[in-house]
Amino acid sequence: MKLKTHKSKKLWNYSLKHLAGGVNSPVRAFNAVGGTPIFIKAAKGARLSDVDGNSYLDYVTSWGVMIHGHADRDIQAALCAALTKGTSYGAPTEAEAVLAEMIKKALPSIEKLRFVSSGTEAVMSAIRLARGYTGRDKIVKFTGCYHGHADSLLVKAGSGAATFGAPSSPGVPAAFARNTVSLEYNDIEGFLKFMKRSGGEVACVIVEPIAANMGLVLPRPGFLKALRKACSASGSVLIFDEVITGFRVGFGGAQGLYGIKPDLTTLGKIIGGGLPVGAYGGSEKIMKNLSPAGKVYQAGTLSGNPLAMAAGCAAIRKLSKPGVYKKLEASGAAMEKGLRRIMVKSGLPLTLNRVGSLFTLFFSKGPLENWTGAAACDTRRYAEYFWAMAERGVYLPPSQFETCFISTAHTAADIAATLEAAEGALSGK
Ligand code: KE4
């Protein structure tokens, strides 16, 4: 049935008058799927309600933040308690160190950490720290991985890929981009060849250990190990950007899942329980170079904000309970089993990648192992699928190059309803 969108349309015109591009983050403008962005009024558990009264099963979950579902009772209670004591002091509080200790216990590669207010800020600071620690300027990233909007990372593979990066956005100085090399994700040989030649100039290699910003793309066996070995050999800092995978694919993140110890880790999303938080941390040897102990400067008015710390502690505490990841895996496996049946029945060129509660249905025959593969997807077909699912009460990421997230609030009945919607959406019924 056609979605009622009258109020969303009205609010979209209002927002376009006051907000740049009508949104506070580009993907929300629905450019990749067309149509009017859906304005959300409220959310509870696995469901979103929009301003026109439509209800959806939510697989964006605020881009992976809401692993416990929306308006979680325990997180809300922690926030209400913190709220009575004020909202921001700009001074140390106990809660910051408590949350830091919880994160360290989950991710033993982190001996010291620093909270900031977004994933971008965490990555930007980690890169500066790696450059300050090594005294080198060059950094290596992988095409299709997204690490936030810091200048050093808005860089696409330049001509000849493994030479200079080129800005992927106006405003990023070419001189800046030249210090970033973007290689192909999962291309072990290409990476080793580059590091053999230039590893001594590389301050850090930053990677999404499981890539979730080209749609979900898993590391090939040996890929992460090759990064670890080459960084150790060249004295480059290995940074795992776990803003998405941290506390998502397991309590120990992707580094726990794959048993690879990075030198620095960046975090965000889940650790803030729905409030703005980022974090970066690693070995004492590196972290002691950060101001005020060391000379690498980084600061932030709302870093370690009491409300965000309270929400983050509640969110991580809930994840430490037995059975949480077993439930997420069971939901993910049920989703995968159902989608694979529907994919065969549809006869369409489709590929499904999944790990735990993360999955992406690609409109391409695949396999999907890097950006080259992802870029070949039929994004027009994805856009049709997005709207067909929205009309059936399922809210997917408004881009083929994002990942779906299942929360602990999604029930078996929700998964079944989603599969029924997908069967209809893919068969046009
Ligand atoms: P934020 O600055 O958006 O908190 O985090 C940046 C970031 C860093 N690293 C990874 C691996 C990320 O996925 C992100 C941000 N993720 C996107 C969604 N894929 C945020 C959504 C948006 O940009 O609106």
Residue range 27-53, pLDDT digits in tens: 999 999 999 999 999 999 999 999 999
Amino acid in the structure at residue 29 = A
Task: Establish whether residue 402 lines the binding site of ligand 1, counting it when its CB lies within 6 angstroms of any ligand atom.
Answer: yes
**205 and 276 part of one domain:** yes
Task: Tell which of 319, 348, 372 closes a domain.
Answer: 319
Work out which ligand 1 atom sits closest to the CA atom of 278.
4
Clarify whether residues 99 and 234 are in a common domain: yes
Q: What is the DSSP letter of 38?
A: P
pLDDT of residue 119: 98
- Is 163's pLDDT higher than 80? no
Q: Is 241 a catalytic residue?
A: yes
Is any atom of ligand 1 closer than 6 Å to the C-beta of 27?
Answer: yes
Mean pLDDT across the stretch 295-309?
98
User: Choosing from 50, 187, 241, 414, which is the catalytic residue?
Assistant: 241
Full domain range(s) for residue 135: 73-319
What CATH number is attached to the domain comprising 313? Answer: 3.40.640.10
Give me the pLDDT at residue 161, please. 53
Q: What is the pLDDT of residues 72-107, one digit of tens each?
A: 999 999 999 999 999 999 999 999 999 999 999 999
Indicate the top mutation candidate among 60, 62, 147 to test ligand 1's pocket, ranked by most ligand atoms within 8 A of CB.
147
Residues 397 and 421 in one domain: yes
The answer to pTM > 0.95 is yes
pLDDT at residue 254 greater than cutoff 70: yes
Residue 394 within a domain: yes
Cβ of residue 243 lying under 6 Å from some atom of ligand 1: yes
Any domain includes 149: yes
Ligand 1 nearest-atom number relative to CA 268: 4
Q: Is 187 in the pocket of ligand 1 (CB under 6 A)?
A: no
DSSP one-letter code for 326: H
Mean pLDDT of 389-417: 98
Ligand 1 neighbour 302 (Cβ under 6 A):
no
93 domain residue, yes or no: yes
Q: 287, 319, 351 — which closes off a domain?
A: 319
Mean pLDDT of 400-426: 98
pLDDT in tens, 185-214: 999 999 999 999 999 999 999 999 999 999
Catalytic residue among 59, 146, 185, 280: 146
Same domain for 226 and 81: yes
Let me know whether 82 and 54 are in one domain.
no
Helix H or strand E segment including 127: helix 119-134
Closest CA to 182 of 129, 121, 130, 140: 140
| 1 part of a folded domain | no
Q: Note the maximum CA span of the chain.
A: 63
What is the per-residue pLDDT for 176? 86
Q: What pLDDT sits at residue 53? A: 97
Query: How many C-beta neighbours within 10 Å does residue 371 have?
Result: 24
Predicted local confidence at residue 18, as pLDDT: 98
Q: What is the mean pLDDT of residues 329-339?
A: 98
Q: Which atom of ligand 1 approaches the CA of 63 most closely?
A: 18
- Count how many domains the chain has: 2
Closest ligand 1 atom to the C-alpha of 121? 2
Percent of the residues in the chain that have a pLDDT greater than 70, as a whole number: 98
Q: What is the pLDDT of residue 168?
A: 87
- Say whether both 32 and 115 belong to one domain: no
- Kind and range of the H or E element at 275? none
The CB of 23 under 6 Å from ligand 1? The reply is no
Asked if 310 and 412 sit in the same domain, the reply is no
> Catalytic: 146?
yes
What integer pLDDT is reported at residue 156 of this predicted model? 82
Q: How far is the CA of 428 from the centre of ligand 1 (A)?
A: 32
Q: Is residue 380 part of a domain?
A: yes
Cβ of 244 less than 6 Å from ligand 1: yes
- 261 tagged catalytic: no
176 and 302 share one domain: yes
167: confidence class by pLDDT, cuts 50, 70, 90: confident
Let me know: does 307 contact 387? Beta carbons within 8 Å.
no
CA of 25 to the centre of ligand 1 (A): 10
Mean of the pLDDT values across residues 161-176?
Answer: 80
Instruction: Supply 209's token pair.
Output: 């250990």
| 67 in the same domain as 99 | no
Same domain, 144 and 58: no
Q: Give domain status of residue 401, yes or no.
A: yes
CB under 8 Å to 376, separation ≥6 — which residues?
Answer: 364
Query: In Å, what is the CA distance from 162 to each residue of 141, 199, 235, 277, 403?
Result: 10, 12, 19, 33, 27
Q: Tell me what the mean pLDDT of segment 303-310 comes to.
A: 98
Locate 118 and state its tokens. Answer: 């977004």
Ligand 1 nearest-atom number relative to CA 118: 4
Same domain, 83 and 174: yes
Q: Is the CB of 142 under 6 A from ligand 1?
A: no
Q: Do residues 343 and 303 both lie within one domain?
A: no
Residue 162 confidence (pLDDT): 55
pLDDT at 164: 65
Contact 420, 337 (CB under 8 A): no
Return the minimum-mean-pLDDT range out of 36-40, 168-172, 292-296, 393-397.
168-172
Q: Give nearest CA residue, ligand 1 atom 23.
A: 25
pLDDT at residue 352, as a whole number:
98
pLDDT for 108-148, tens place per residue? Answer: 999 999 999 999 999 999 999 999 999 999 999 999 999 99
Which residue out of 61, 117, 121, 244 has the highest number of ligand 1 atoms within 8 Å of its CB and is therefore the one to mutate?
244
Q: Can you give the pLDDT at residue 115?
A: 98
Name which residue sits closest to atom 20 of ligand 1, judged by CA: 63
The reported pLDDT for the residue numbered 198 is 97
Kindly give the number of the ligand 1 atom that is closest to the alpha carbon of 148.
Answer: 6
The verdict on residue 311 lying in a domain is: yes
**Among 261, 285, 319, residue at a domain's last position:** 319
- List the CATH number of the domain containing 374: 3.90.1150.10
